Chains A and B, each alone.
Chain A
């Protein structure tokens, strides 16, 4: 079982590396995406690694703060949508055929 777990983890790592290294996005754009995703999924380790990588290529705390704010904004939109009360639409077409 342990061997299987190691294998799965190794596959995940390879997949992560492949996705990060490939594609048409630049390094900064990739990091913005990784930072945002790790904030949203609340993965502290991924977030820390992303911050280390981001600062290595020159991200400032202001920029990281903005990404964080954007992630929070997305979450707040989701909450707002949850808060919208959607009343069931009245059905004007009467199904009663009586007295028609």
Chain B
């Protein structure tokens, strides 16, 4: 009898452990397998994930040996590949290829949403600087310029002038490949700037029914950098706003034909109502799943696997919630210089803390989510919100950066 196995594609978090905890064999597909991973999984397969023909070839080799129950990834770049692999194996318990592509490629997300009149946003696709210049006349500045198929806010620019738009388009088009080496879409998105507080909606859709698991409030530094400096679950929103945002996300997911998956939808609450920024066919990053699990009892990563294996919401894994609110805060450098902070921080509600820099180290000003200095997670209590506790911990850490002039 063939063993039951799950294919894990380019894991980002604890995908392998989650699958093993359910007793399945793990077949790992990854561009470069580490020695630890090679030992850890049952069948490690090193393959160029950008070469889909080669992936299918390897898939055919293993599908004879194992009874494959699902294809699982939490890796944003590999969601469409996982969907294609599922499709090739005839597994229906995952995102469709169409839905995966419509989430992954932000150009397609906008096209579909606008065509179905859901969260319409003014946007144009441009292939060169000249085209950007000519199409700008229909916009009111500032605008956002972003690549169609990158991730993690890479190369997303806030542009106040025509010149900045032209430069942003040029910078994006200078690159031929995205972060994981896939060809970068040659159509760059120029879209209206949506002003308002940012939220993300953590949801799951199973057999056509979408449930909103949580709404996360996001704390972001002002433009041009817009670095995410914190998240809190649940978001501090009135009932009407919760209803409005939830309804919009449900409509958006339906429009994008998303089914059988966990989604992380970024939304801005503008003066004209909520608008969708982007939809991701996976749980949110930045440890949002840790916050959601603490507050709701649903582990979004676990839930993703459960859905990939054909599970229903009724029998979804659930844990006793441990806090009414939870927050993550990121430590950032507001200027370049020497960093100082208190290392031995104590607080009963501090769940986890990690600082990536050493005391007295030279650091660059934090300008993106990729050069933050560390983070901590706190859980709220009935008496005190996690936001208040996060402020207390931040005060204790007292991270400050002295410019070279100040520190001498």
Q: Which residues of A contact B (CB under 8 A)?
A: 44, 47-48, 51-52, 55-56, 60-61, 64
Q: Is the CB of B43 within 8 A of A44?
A: no
Q: Is B52 among interface residues, defined by CB-CB distance under 8 A?
A: no
Q: Is the CB of B35 within 8 A of A55?
A: no
Q: Is B33 among interface residues, defined by CB-CB distance under 8 A?
A: yes
Q: Is B370 among interface residues, defined by CB-CB distance under 8 A?
A: no
Give the residue name and chain of the A residue nearest to B38 (CB).
A51
Q: Is the CB of B43 within 8 A of A51?
A: no
22 contacts between A and B (CB under 8 A): A47-B35, A48-B33, A48-B34, A48-B35, A48-B38, A51-B35, A51-B38, A51-B39, A51-B44, A52-B33, A52-B38, A52-B44, A52-B45, A52-B46, A55-B41, A55-B42, A55-B43, A56-B45, A60-B42, A61-B39, A61-B42, A64-B39
- By a CB distance below 8 angstroms, the chain A residues around B46 are 52
Cα separation A59 to B125 with both chains bound (whole Å)? 51
> Measured between C-beta atoms, what is the minimum distance from B49 to chain A in Å?
16
> Measured between C-beta atoms, what is the minimum distance from A31 to chain B in Å?
13
Q: Is the CB of B35 within 8 A of A44?
A: yes
- By a CB distance below 8 angstroms, the chain B residues around A61 are 39, 42
Q: Tell me how many residue pairs across A and B have CB atoms closer than 8 Å.
A: 26
Cα separation A12 to B46 with both chains bound (whole Å)? 23
Give the residue name and chain of the B residue nearest to A55 (CB).
B43
What size tier do the contact residues of chain B reach? 10 to 19
> Measured between C-beta atoms, what is the minimum distance from B2 to chain A in Å?
12
Task: Return the 9 tightest CB-CB contacts between A and B, nearest first.
Answer: A51-B38, A48-B35, A55-B43, A48-B38, A52-B44, A44-B35, A52-B38, A55-B44, A52-B46
Cα separation A61 to B36 with both chains bound (whole Å)? 12
- By a CB distance below 8 angstroms, the chain B residues around A44 are 35
Cα separation A50 to B115 with both chains bound (whole Å)? 52
Hey, what's the 0/1 contact readout for B14-38 against A, CB within 8 Å counting as 1?
0000000000000000000111001
- By a CB distance below 8 angstroms, the chain A residues around B45 are 52, 56
> Measured between C-beta atoms, what is the minimum distance from B25 to chain A in Å?
10
- By a CB distance below 8 angstroms, the chain A residues around B33 are 48, 52
Hey, what's the 0/1 contact readout for B35-63 against A, CB within 8 Å counting as 1?
10011011111100000000000000000
New contact pairs (20) apart from A47-B35, A48-B38, A55-B43, CB-CB < 8 Å: A44-B35, A48-B33, A48-B35, A51-B35, A51-B38, A52-B33, A52-B38, A52-B44, A52-B45, A52-B46, A55-B38, A55-B41, A55-B42, A55-B44, A56-B43, A56-B45, A60-B42, A61-B39, A61-B42, A64-B39
Cα separation A68 to B44 with both chains bound (whole Å)? 18
Hey, what's the 0/1 contact readout for B61-92 against A, CB within 8 Å counting as 1?
00000000000000000000000000000000
> Measured between C-beta atoms, what is the minimum distance from A90 to chain B in Å?
51
Cα separation A60 to B35 with both chains bound (whole Å)? 15
Cα separation A48 to B35 with both chains bound (whole Å)? 5
Cα separation A60 to B38 with both chains bound (whole Å)? 11
Most B Cβ at <10 Å: residue of A51, A55, A56, A60:
A55
Could you tell me which residues of chain B, from 221 to 262, have a CB within 8 Å of some CB in chain A?
none
Cα separation A97 to B44 with both chains bound (whole Å)? 75
> Measured between C-beta atoms, what is the minimum distance from B284 to chain A in Å?
32
- By a CB distance below 8 angstroms, the chain A residues around B39 are 51, 61, 64
- By a CB distance below 8 angstroms, the chain B residues around A51 are 35, 38-39, 44
Cα separation A56 to B33 with both chains bound (whole Å)? 14
Cα separation A87 to B33 with both chains bound (whole Å)? 50
> Measured between C-beta atoms, what is the minimum distance from B23 to chain A in Å?
15
Most B Cβ at <10 Å: residue of A44, A47, A51, A64:
A51
- By a CB distance below 8 angstroms, the chain B residues around A64 are 39
Give the residue name and chain of the A residue nearest to B42 (CB).
A55
Cα separation A45 to B44 with both chains bound (whole Å)? 14
- By a CB distance below 8 angstroms, the chain A residues around B41 are 55
